[in-house]
Structure 1
Amino acid sequence: MRPRPAGLSRRGFLGVLGGTALAAAGCGQYAGELLVGKAPTPEPFRVPLSIPQVAAPVAPGRYEVTQRVARVEILPGLRTEVWGYGGTFPGPTFELRRGAPATVRVRNELPVPTSTHLHGGVTPSDSDGYPTDLVIPAGGHAGGHAGHAARMTHPGEVHHEGARDYHYPVGQRAATLWYHDHRMDYTAPAVWQGLAGFALVRDEEEDALPLPAGERELPLMICDRSFGEDGSFLYPRNHEGHDAAYMAGVEGDVILVNGAPWPVAEVTATRYRLRLLNACNARRLNLRLAPGGRFTQVGSDDGLLAAPLEHDALPMSPSERYDVVVDFSAYPVGSTVTLVNTLVDGAAGNVMRFVVARRAKDDSVVPKRLSRPPERPAPVATRSFDFRRTDSGWTVNGRLYRPGDLLARPRLGTAEVWRLTSDFHHPVHVHLAHFQVLARNGREPAPTDAGWKDTVDVRPYEVVDVLARFEGYRGRYMLHCHNLEHEDMAMMADFEVI
């Protein structure tokens, strides 16, 4: 059990989210509250790693996917009800190409409304997955944890009956993106139930690089879940939809990679490209290789770096991505290499394992020069956004989220410095605009902050300056905390690109 201030019950401890007691309680090491499962914990490194299926177009540039309920085996011997794109968890991977527009028709056969957000996408505002732009199941909806919210309406709420098309121009650089549900008030339980998947953008610049590819390119969606005795997903909720004891965020006690608990992957003694995604609701990661080794970073959230960087560890807040190369020829054949999270002890400190099975020819290379990313533009304005727990709840600039209530109106084609401050761990995500981290508390950013990003971990009582570029489209977009429980409890804000 995590330490807490003496004299405070667990509920009392979580009730001090707005003050210094939270910082003193060790939130520099974690972000949420652990939800202990009831199912037997599976033995790690027994389930093989699976790779999500690639979505096949139904016509050039056109895809269709159905959100539906399915029962799948996640814990050995048990069946879990998931809400999945295509009935799978994770959903299918969309392989997109720069300059080749794609339309994705999302059909909703779930018992609740949905809104799909392409995270990291430079997308027209009407296809961005705004939280009140909803696909309503044909024939209505009811039941489950969402029954209360299904009866709620919000200002400007839009309904699409049964299905809708999302249009993605795909004018951006090659990058590891992902998609997930973004419905108002209920993003956290919907993603927890399985509504997430990868979207990989490729381009000619990336094609020209001799990086590991094919079977040696592994998209790895890391998340945590807790399970009931029958294998069902556990999630804390009450009749209003939120359990006050978990306002800090929900952490599960089983670590999943691509939907499998602590999986194992057989690799050759060659280089592999790992596309790492922290898809947890609230859990932060600090990834290392055991018994040792280095990550060669080639990309960040929104594209390739100019040149590779070497790291011993990768700190990842929810929704951050790292594109890295690991050279397994550095390990003897027959050895095991474990990906671990050093922020926690016990079973949750393991993520997955690689077994170096045999030698093989390797013609991949990590070149000294990777790309020519966009130059850093000069800012035309500076704005401040404070992410903080107040008496009214989780707020941005002291305000609870209200759809259409604008906090900024940047101009298309410009860049601004956005100063982000916090009282807690808040992974701040900006829609549409990609940014570079300029400073942390007035000092140089960390080496792992490199590249163009859409999410940055703003740590307790920290000031983070980012340079955001507003390119692509005019319209209404959002910034918010990507601790999904904080997001659902109104830690969001709208801005309009004019």
Structure 2
Amino acid sequence: MRDLRMSRRRVLEIGGALGLLAATGLSGAAALSRRPPVTGAELRSAVPLPPAFSVPLPIPAVLAPVSTSGGVDRYAITQRETTAEILPGVRTPLWTYGGTFPGPTIEARRGRPITVTHRNELPVPTVVHLHGGRTPADSDGYPTDLVLPAGWPDATHHGHGGHAMAGMHDPRAVHRKLTRDYTFPMDQRSSLLWYHDHRMDFTAPAIWRGLAGLHIVRDDAEEALGLPSGSRELPLMIADRAFAADGSLDYPALDPTLRGQPGVRESYLAGVLGDVILVNGAPWPVHEVDAARYRLRILNASNARHYELEAVLDDGRRLELVQIGADQGLLAAPVTHTSLPIAPAERYDVIVDFAGVPVGSLVKVVNRLGSGRTGDVMAFRVARKATDDSRVPAVLSTDLPSWNRADAVRVREFSFRAGQLNGGHGWLIGGLPFDPARSDVTVGLGDVEVWRFVADVHHPVHLHLVGFQVLSRGGRPPLPHDAGLKDTVSLRPGEAAEIITRFDGYRGRYLFHCHNAEHEDMGMMANLEVV
């Protein structure tokens, strides 16, 4: 009987979204029966696009600290506008961390604190969130804790910077002029994190314009495993974009200055998809590799696009994708896939072995959820035979938490669905749009809880502060790619998933939200208070 009630509830929630789904080209029947591979609408570029696998793969530079004294590594990043050649022969204006897209990679050591001073020289306020970071609340990048640019009024009566549409007041907002120090204790497992803008109502266009970078946490235990390293460890930030006729990044913002009215044009309310796939800021790049094992540290930094990745040879044979890590670090043991779905904000740590691939061969990384040009992601060209002393141990980690359902002090349920926002279409959690002044969920420091999420369409749900384990999907065991400790779970249309976590680390105000960035900007975010 319980399953029947849940089935009817799912239908009702999806039915409640029909107005929005119709506006975005998805019907309720499609959401229920076909589980469409995308949620969103695609922009088409107005400039000539390069052939796939002709541009070399860039590797983001690792940022050097400005100081290492006192047991703390200190970094400095200036957020500024620049122009770069993303498409060959085309100049594209960008908003950047440190003048590059992606921003510079920060490499930290587990247990060694770092401080990053961000200076805002962009024309709008910004907020920096270290995604996946186990971070004190005052450095977590709450959406109203703004760094104001020169000349911007300190509109503290509007916690988000004073745009006319929301008109919300956040009495706890903290604003800084020009610079802000973000302190990260790094008291967490070795893992691939990322940092990005998190300004209320404008996260999606800010990330789209370039405000994203990688942050890697390392430790001695992981380095002792013998995994591929050095030039055979590749960070891969995958992000789709579209280009306007003048070479700029096309985005359907209602206010292209990002200073006033938030939101996107009606047909893009479900999410913005681009027709160009970038990896580390390059379109469909190619990378020369040895015939050896490589460690691919993959981030989906797209606003709304989901991928299903495969590594395919010219003869159609698929290479194994040996997953060794998830959002929050190493798995207990490797999990082997031939295809790997990855939702916005998810990260996967994968070993690919090119040893059996003939020299000269091209291995394509394809996206089975794409069509046309978005069906390709990048390629590897096997250039030479080489020695390889790396290995993939049968046991990767022994420090994963062992939470049990019986440990949970409570179970909560949240619906993620379309609804009304400011008289128009928006996205809601539990029937409510985000309000920074409202308390949504209060948890005790150290409490273990089970949370149940129910979706209408695709929603990658992200919790700040804590990692979690996936307990179930649709009442069944989690999928193979759900292994390990995660901070983002990808809900498919009509799906319910359960997670379990311990709310430890720090007290204060945090968030949970959909990481489809357009959904997040249009209300699909809620407050989490750890007390």
Same fold by TM-score, threshold 0.5 exceeded? yes
Partner residue in 1 for 2:460: 427
Corresponding position: 1:224 with 2:240: yes
Are the equivalent residues in 1 in contact too, given 2:79–2:121 (CA < 8 A)?
yes
Q: Deviations over 1:29-84 (max 9, x none)?
A: 11211011111111111110010000110001100000000000001001101100
TM-score (norm 1): 0.94
Aligned to 1:299: 325
- Give the alignment of 1:165-244 within 5 angstroms: 165-239=181-255, 240-242=261-263, 243-244=265-266
CA contact (8 A) 1:100 1:169 kept: yes
Equivalent residue for 2:277? 255
Q: Report the identity percentage.
A: 55
One of 81, 97, 102 as aligned partner of 1:90:
102
Measured against aligned partners, the alpha-carbon deviations of 1:432-489 in whole angstroms (never above 9, x if no partner) come to 1110000001100000000000000111111100002211101111000000000000
Asked if the contact 2:125/2:161 (under 8 Å) is kept, the reply is no
- Alpha-carbon distance in 2 for matches of 1:147, 1:453: 32
In 1, the alpha carbon distance for the partners of 2:387 and 2:183 equals 41
Q: SS in structure 2 opposite 1:188?
A: helix
Offset at residue 159 of structure 1 (A): 1.4
Q: Is residue 2:79 matched to residue 1:67?
A: yes
Q: 1:158 aligns with which of 144, 168, 174?
A: 174
What SS does the corresponding residue of 1:37 show, helix, strand or coil?
coil
Q: Distance in 2 between matches of 1:238 and 1:99?
A: 43
Q: After the TM superposition, which segments of 4 or more aligned residues of structure 1 sit over 4 Å from their partners? A: 24-27, 150-153
Find the counterpart in structure 2 of residue 245 from structure 1: 267
2:136 pairs with 1:124? yes
Per the alignment, residue 118 of structure 2 pairs with 106
Q: Any idea what the Cα deviations from partners look like across 1:397-456, whole Å, max 9, x if unmatched? A: 000100032221111112110000011100000001110000001100000000000000
Q: Give the total of aligned pairs.
A: 485
- Given that residues 46 and 264 in structure 1 are in contact (C-alpha distance below 8 angstroms), is that contact kept between their aligned partners in structure 2? yes
Distance change (3 Å), C-alpha of 1:89 and 1:15: closer
AA aligned to 1:334 is G
Which residue number corresponds to residue 340 of structure 1? Answer: 366
Distance 1:171 1:453 in 2: 16
In 2, distance between residues paired with 1:465 and 1:66? 40
1:30 alignment partner, one of 38, 41, 49: 38
TM-score by length of 2: 0.88
**d(CA) in 1 for partners of 2:161, 2:90:** 26
Written as runs of structure 1 = structure 2, the 5 A alignment for 1:445-464 is: 445-464=478-497
Aligned residue type for 1:95: E
Partner secondary structure for residue 319 of structure 2: coil
* CA distance in structure 1 between the aligned counterparts of 2:392 and 2:465, rounded to whole angstroms: 29
- Code of the residue aligned with 2:170 in structure 1: it is P
5 Å-filtered alignment, 1:305-324, equals 305-324=331-350
Once the two structures are TM-superposed, the CA of residue 241 in structure 1 deviates from its matched residue by 3.2
Q: Are 2:412 and 1:383 aligned?
A: yes
Offset, 1:153: 6.0
One-letter code of the match for 1:407?
D
Q: Are residues 234 and 147 of structure 1, via their aligned partners in 2, closer, same or farther at CA, if it must alter by over 3 Å? A: farther
* Structure 2 gaps, min length 5: 1-18, 155-159, 256-260
- Cα distance, 1:22 vs structure 2: 5.3
**Match 1:465 to one of 478, 498, 503:** 498
Aligned partner of 1:189: which letter?
A: P
Specify the SS of the correspondent of 2:175.
strand
The one-letter amino acid paired with 2:60 is P
| Residue range with higher mean Cα deviation, 128-137 or 237-246 | 237-246
* Equivalent residue letter for 1:249: G
Asked if the contact 2:344–2:515 (Cα under 8 Å) also holds between the matched residues in 1, the reply is yes
Q: Which ranges of structure 1 fall in alignment gaps of 5 or more residues?
A: 1-9
Secondary structure of residue in 1 paired with 2:63? coil
Deviations 1:164-219 (A, max 9, x none): 00000000010010000000000000000000000000011111110000000000
